[in-house]
Amino acid sequence: MFHTGVDVVQLSEDQYSVHHVRIFGLTNHLVLDQWNPNTVYFIDQHWNVRELTVTIDTQIDSPRTIFTIPDAATKRAKERLNASLWFPASDICVLSDGTGELYILSTVTRGASDAPRWKILWRGKVSEPAVRCVVAHASLRKTDMFSQSEDGSRTVDCLLLHIKKEEPTAEEENSETLNTETSFVTILEWLTLTRTAGDTPFSVSHHRQIKGKAAPLYAAVEETGRAVFIAGEGKYEIVYDSLKPVEKEKKDSEKDSKEAERDPTYTWTQTMEDLTVTFTVPQGTQKSDIDVVLTPNRLAVELKNGPALLQGPLFRDIDVSVSTWILEGRKLEVGLAKKEDEMLMWPEVVVGDQMGEYFVDPDQARIIHDRLAHLTSDELNPDPRGKNGGASSSSNCQMLEECDAYPENFSCMIRLDGETHQVTNSVNIGTNQWLFNAQLDPQKVPAICLRHDVDGLPIGNQESLPGSGNAWFHAATFNALGYVQASKRDKKFASCPPDTSYTVLCDCVRHVYIYRQPEGTMSPVKNRKTGKVVTEISKQQLVSLDCQDNILGMQTSNERIFILTSQRLYVIRVNDVTTATT
């Protein structure tokens, strides 16, 4: 039992948005040292960083104070967030005190019984004026993809997360659908701290700021320090860079209005057999002034001594022998005959050209309507029993289970380049529910576990060859984890160890659920009905703690699960499910 409890900061009255609940409402107060997986840390009510180490199986040393956050008496009385820390290297710790001050600490020989107290290498405010923030991720940068500098110089990238309230614009105030939640934005402060030589102090060499409308589900700095990975709803963009100005993108509404004001260069329509492209040429244009070149896969329409009206590769091949063009007054019509074996509806005439306007042919619209008529009805479910070829039974959203529900807004995983300020890669994960993040390798970015169908898939990042980009890989499969986690209404934390041999969920109070990967059986099991032989089975175990205190933190290693309450640390040895406390 601890003499002093865990330092816990509750949400205040002004922290009422979904952003605040997602980021600060479920803080994990326990931190595992990935370089020393037998050692965990937490911060007590006196702002002491306490270290606990497992020595023999589940025997735990007494908590040891390894560092005390300065000015605790005055700062703890202010409005603040929970203090947070991250280990980007085996001898460095990044700590935020929750009041706006950041520390880079020297942590030599962490986990050793005779390890010295941590020393401050750098201390400073995140920004001016100071903002309350937590550490989302920290990474020790590598000079290249395969080696680290040996001259004593070191670079640490830190992502610090906070929420800012923005006043609505005049356009938003006049909108009838103004939502108070939209006035809060998420800010990621991306700080780069550099030490040029072994004896010189750290200093802030680069500061960037990333803004998003929603709280990120995942945020991490790339190992090379060139970009950040962010998963979440909505758009994220770099809005400030201390070394170069940020070019603001024009609003989509402005782009759309300009495109709408621009007259189309041509109009076109199509049937299953052919296309007709129509141009308006200057008054007095003669046939001799027009040059039309048709090849099976290319079109060029030009006016002599004038610009090209349309040219480039066609979307599909055409039959040149029956393709024609005709000039009537100021109207130039080019007829393109589709090949008989490629009678498809084209989305465009020339690949990549958006200067034309498409009109649906009335006869073609009628044909399409007739083809789809059997799929619609004026009655609600007119043939529920399938008597006339309909479905055997009707289905509706009430038949879906809670665990089948996905977020309303689509989420994306992006790579945001720190030099160009542009999104270089983006993938839609809107139909893959986020489950948790896990550190599979201390020297790499954390893995993100997503739901796919009913399973959970941790997706990790591995080093790739220079110039080949970043490679994300499927690290493991947790069978039926999607259904399992949806059934746990009181679930607070979820995680898995680096070897992905199991996954663990814990409730707000007392209960810990362990789900192991399939293992071979001593004797095969046979299904009596199907005759299928099962050679592997998965074990599920429940651990009930002997107290009713709230669970404040959880961490996992390959051999142990660490559970932190307000007064105790529980250590569960996974191999034989034995529990020790301190």
Write out pLDDT tens, residues 236-253.
Answer: 999 999 999 988 765 554
Contact between 354 and 386 under an 8 Å Cβ cutoff? The reply is no
* Tokens, residue 3: 């003499």
The predicted-structure confidence for 464-474, as pLDDT tens digits, reads as follows 444 444 578 89
C-alpha count within 13 angstroms, C-beta hemisphere, residue 330: 6
Contact between 440 and 433 under an 8 Å Cβ cutoff? The reply is no
Find the mean pLDDT for residues 499-509: 94
Contact between 517 and 574 under an 8 Å Cβ cutoff? The reply is no
pTM score, whole prediction? 0.71
Look-up of token digits 């989509």: 252
Give the model's pLDDT for residue 229.
95
Nearest-5° angle of CA 187, CA 495, CA 541?
A: 155
Contact between 539 and 518 under an 8 Å Cβ cutoff? The reply is no
Look at 394-398, 420-424, 565-569 and tell me which has the smallest mean pLDDT.
394-398
* Tokens, residue 153: 């110089």
Tell me the pLDDT band of 161, cut-offs 50, 70 and 90.
Answer: very high
Residue of 91, 123, 96 whose CA lies nearest to 106: 91
Sequence-distant (≥ 6) Cβ neighbours of residue 565 within 8 angstroms:
545, 547, 549, 550, 551, 552
d(CA 36, CA 557): 10
Helix (H) or strand (E) holding 139: strand 134-140
Give SS3 for 485.
Answer: helix
Look-up of token digits 């809005």: 239
d(CA 572, CA 35): 19
Tell me the pLDDT band of 180, cut-offs 50, 70 and 90.
Answer: very low
Phi then psi for residue 245, to 5 deg, are: -70, 150
Look at 404 and 566; give whichever has higher pLDDT: 566
* pLDDT averaged over every residue in the chain: 83
Look-up of token digits 């965990």: 40
Q: Is 391 a residue whose pLDDT tops 80?
A: no
Tell me the domains of the chain and their CATH numbers. 265-354 (2.60.40.790), 433-508+511-544 (no CATH)
Sequence-distant (≥ 6) Cβ neighbours of residue 346 within 8 angstroms:
270, 275, 315, 316
